[in-house]
Homo-oligomer: A and B are copies of this chain.
Amino acid sequence: MAEKKFIPEWTSTPPLPGSYRSIAKQGAMDEIKLPSERYYKLLKGELGVDDSYFSGKRNDGNMPVRLDEEVDVPGDVVDALVKISGSENVRSDSYSRVKYSHGKLQEEMFNLKRGVVHEAAGVVVHPRDKEEVKEIIHLCDSKGVAVNVYGGGSSCNKGFLPERGGVTLVMNTHMKRVLEVNEKNHTCRVQAGCMGPDLENALNNARTLYGTTHAFTCGHFPQSFEISSVAGWSMALGSGQASTYYGDAADLVLAMEVVTPAGVINTSDYISTATGPKVVEMMKGSEGVFGVCVELTIKIFRHMPENRKYFGYIFPDFESAVNATREITQGQFGLPAVLRISDAKETEHAFELYPVPSMVESFLKMRGFKPGRRCLCLGTVEGEREFTALVRKKIGRIARRFGGMSTTGYSAKEWYKDRYKTFYMAEAVTDYDIILDTVETPVRWDNIHEIHGKVYEYANSVPGTMCISHASHFYQSGTNLYFIFGVRGNVDDYMAYRSGLIEAMVNAGGSCSHHHGVGRLMTPWIGRFLGKEELGAIRALKKYFDPGNILNPGHPLGTDSQVD
């Protein structure tokens, strides 16, 4: 009789209510994704550990949240907050203070599971409408109380960490409504805290809900879709999986209403007006240091899922895959929505996790798609029926021209179904002091291979770590390189490796982020990337909007940080 196969005791039950684990959890409490047997095997190989490493769970974080730190907001301010938003919306219990002070950076997840909390809001307020936000900002500004904003809570760079405690505003409790679907203009007005699924659901069902002729889509589907808010998308310059067609978050926003200590900014919703530098553009990417976004007008698009085409290709190597996607983005025949090419390493992972029959493998090798070099590509085309057919056809022709072979739309369909959930798995492995995380940088076509190579050079120099990569979010002039990495050890090992990857990206000519934003994590690189003159311009705006420096204090885009 064969020895029983070892399987780690992955936690498959929802986190206990009120626990640290429940804060660290990604997505719905009962949606749990465990590493497959194959993934477990792959992980052991990559990180250089065996079953014994997984013999005992380190931390599950299922203990109740308990915060000893005192509330740092003066009593008269708390009283005033209660007067503004009602006592039920002003919370200073430990759980609220910890939950709304954390995003989804793996460092935070790691620490939370160990009950380690470095910073927490003094008071958490759930404003009911924008008038309340105005009153709160006025109050906090006059009292010098710090204000941070929690949108959907998906920040993966400590974007809203309450370094100076104070008040954290939670936007997705009450201020989360779709206010108007304007079919004529193909626009939608939403409150800042409107979450991805609520928006998309309202738009997809606009015929029923708003009496429109067409169904609509928001076009923005970041991996964080389920846990991010519309205001967060643009305030941190996000990019969705279908951005190649629909544009980045910044492209989708026509107008914003932002409450600042200097007054309310309420920009025009004209996409084009030659009336000076656009203040709405200054707000995009400002990550809460200028003001609190309360409302947005965004573009919406006709929703025609019946026309969606899925495609998949395998290329002999990364270079041919890159060349093919470059031709696709520059060909002037329309763009695909999702477009993604895995590098050789990510492709090998895919083959390990979803092995093909040996006959197929032989065929692939014979055709020149060799392990260690071959690269997978997948994507979708959206839009009007004949348009999607044309773009799909063109993509096929280009792929073949660059040595690609169709793998059918199957992989794209499978990927599509699971596209927000794949990362849930990171949660299970942190129980064993293993962290899976990502970094990303924009690249141009003329430096993609240089940056890709330099990041791997660093990654490969650290034994017992894992790094794979893909390109996604394509533009005529380049794309984005996304690195998924795994590290075991303590939080410092992980953060050091993470920094090493970013350092390699920036040194090779990338930036420190393509679509995850700045946050406190990018302090060492943001000044280097922008230069002191650009940083000075951002800080001049900071001084204007928030002279008392109450908003997101300590953030590297603000005035009191150590970056230069």
Contacts and interface: CB of A to CB of B under 8 A. Distances in A.
A544 B540 contact: yes
Interface in A243-293: 248, 250, 254, 260, 262-279, 281-287, 290
A285 B279 contact: no
Contacts of A518: 274-276
B513 A236 contact: no
B386 A390 contact: yes
A237 interface: yes
A444 B383 contact: no
Interface string A355-375: 000000000000000000000
Size class of the contact patch on chain A: 35 or more
A531 interface: yes
A279 B530 contact: yes
A217 B517 CA distance: 33
Q: Which of A480, A529, A537 has the most CB of B within 10 A?
A: A537
A271 B387 contact: no
A6 to B, nearest CB: 41
A273 B513 contact: yes
Contacts of A520: none
Contacts of A452: none
Interface in A384-419: 384, 386-387, 390, 394
Q: Which of A236, A264, A536 has the most CB of B within 10 A?
A: A536
A445 B271 CA distance: 12
B286 A557 contact: no
Contact of A394 (B326, B386, B394): B386
A484 interface: no
A272 B387 contact: no
Given A186-B476, A276-B557, A386-B333, A536 B544 contact: yes
Contacts of A237: 272-275
Contact of A299 (B286, B331, B477): B477
A87 interface: no
Contact of A537 (B248, B275, B477, B541): B541
A300 B314 CA distance: 30
Interface string A461-495: 00000000000010111101000000000000000
Contact of A442 (B271, B473, B476): B271
12 contacts: A187-B477, A265-B533, A269-B444, A270-B442, A272-B514, A273-B513, A278-B285, A301-B332, A334-B334, A334-B387, A536-B544, A540-B540
Interface of A: 182, 184-187, 236-239, 248, 250, 254, 260, 262-279, 281-287, 290, 299, 301-302, 304, 326, 330-334, 382-384, 386-387, 390, 394, 441-442, 444-446, 473, 475-478, 480, 511-518, 522, 526, 529-534, 536-538, 540-541, 543-545, 557
Q: Which 6 A-B pairs have the closest CB atoms?
A: A540-B544, A237-B274, A281-B281, A333-B384, A332-B383, A270-B442
